Chains A and B, each alone.
Chain A
Amino acid sequence: MIRVQREDFDVGVELDRVAKGDHSIGGVASFIGLVRDMGGPQRVAALTLEHYPGMTEKKLAEIEAEANRRWPLSASLIIHRYGRLEPGDRIVLVATASPHREAALAACHFLIDWLKTDAPFWKREETPHGERWVEARHEDDEAARRWRNPAR
C-alpha cells in the first residue's frame, strides 16, 4: 500500500497494521526517514517537500510492485509526507513483511534506496542564510544503481 500525505503517521499503528491477520508473517522490517539538522552553518530550521501529484503515486506504486516481484513479501507499505516539516519530524516510512527476515530486510533497503532517486519529490531547506534546494547526492544514485543488477 502507498500513501502520500501532509499529515504525520503513528509508526506503531502502521507497523501493527502491516502484519495484522496474516500469521505466516515472520517479521516486519521498517525504515523511518526523519528531517535532519546537522547544526553549524548549515543549520536547518525547516524542510519543505514538494512533489508531483499523480506521478508521485504512480511511481511509488511501481517501486512497490517491483519490490514484490523481487522478494516474496506478504505485505508492504510506503508512506511519504510532503509540505513543511521541522527537524525530527518523520518524512517517510517504508515497511515490508515476509515469512522470512532476509526478504523483508532486503526489500525495505531496496525501497528506500529507490525512493531517493525515483520518486518525484524535491526538498527545500530553510537555513540561517536563506532557502536552499537540496541537491541530489551522487551516493544516492550509486545506492539505487546497486539494485539494478542484484547479486542475490
Chain B
Amino acid sequence: MKLLYFAWLRARIGHAEEVFPLPEGVHNVAGLLDWLRGRGGNYAEALKDSSVIRVAVNQEYVGLTHPIRDGDEIAVFPPMTGG
C-alpha cells in the first residue's frame, strides 16, 4: 500500500510518501494510525493528537473504522485550509 503525508504532517514525519505491505494485524484506519505511532520518533510525535488528523483512502475522506487493504492509497493530513 501507498501512504501519502501532507502539510505539517509531512514536515514532521520527514517525507511525503512511502510504500510498504499492509502490516500484519492492521485492518482499519485506526489500526494503521496506531501501527504508525508504534514506530515511535517522528511518527509518534506527528500523529499524537487524533483530533487534527484526517485520512483519505483511495481519495475519499473516511473515518477511523474504515477498512484498509493492501494496494490502497492512504493519505494522512491535517484539516484542510483551502479557498
* B6-34 interface code vs A (CB 8 A; 1 in, 0 out): 11100100000000000000000000000
Which residue of chain B lies nearest to A113 when distances are taken between CB atoms in the complex?
B83
- Bound together, the chains give a CA A124 to CA B8 distance in angstroms of 9
Is B75 within 8 A of A122, CB to CB?
no
A135 CB contact (under 8 Å) in B6, B11, B81, B82: B81
Residues from chain B with Cβ under 8 Å of A73 in the complex: none
A136 in contact with B79 given A54-B59, A55-B56, A58-B59 (CB within 8 Å): yes
Is A134 within 8 A of B77, CB to CB?
no
* B33-48 interface code vs A (CB 8 A; 1 in, 0 out): 0000000000000000
Is A119 within 8 A of B80, CB to CB?
yes
Residues from chain A with Cβ under 8 Å of B4 in the complex: 52
- For the complex, count residues of A whose C-beta is within 8 A of B: 27
* A10-32 interface code vs B (CB 8 A; 1 in, 0 out): 00000000000000000000000
Is A55 within 8 A of B81, CB to CB?
no
Closest 4 pairs between A and B when the two form their complex, measured CB to CB: A121-B82, A136-B79, A122-B7, A116-B83
A50 in contact with B7 given A92-B83, A115-B82, A119-B82 (CB within 8 Å): yes
CB distance from A148 to the nearest CB of B (A): 14
Label chain A's interface by main secondary structure.
mixed
* A96-139 interface code vs B (CB 8 A; 1 in, 0 out): 00000000000000001001111111111000000001111000
Other than the given A115-B82, A133-B8, A135-B81, 17 more pairs (CB < 8 A) read A50-B7, A51-B82, A52-B4, A52-B59, A52-B77, A80-B82, A117-B80, A118-B80, A119-B80, A119-B83, A120-B6, A120-B77, A121-B80, A122-B80, A122-B81, A123-B81, A133-B11
Within 8 A of B (CB), among A48-63: 49-52, 54-55, 58
CB distance from B70 to the nearest CB of A (A): 20
- Bound together, the chains give a CA A49 to CA B7 distance in angstroms of 9
CB distance from A92 to the nearest CB of B (A): 6
- Bound together, the chains give a CA A123 to CA B11 distance in angstroms of 13
A-B contact pairs, 22 of them (CB 8 A): A49-B82, A50-B6, A52-B56, A52-B59, A52-B75, A55-B59, A55-B75, A58-B59, A92-B82, A112-B83, A116-B81, A119-B82, A119-B83, A120-B6, A120-B75, A120-B77, A121-B81, A122-B78, A124-B7, A134-B81, A136-B78, A136-B80
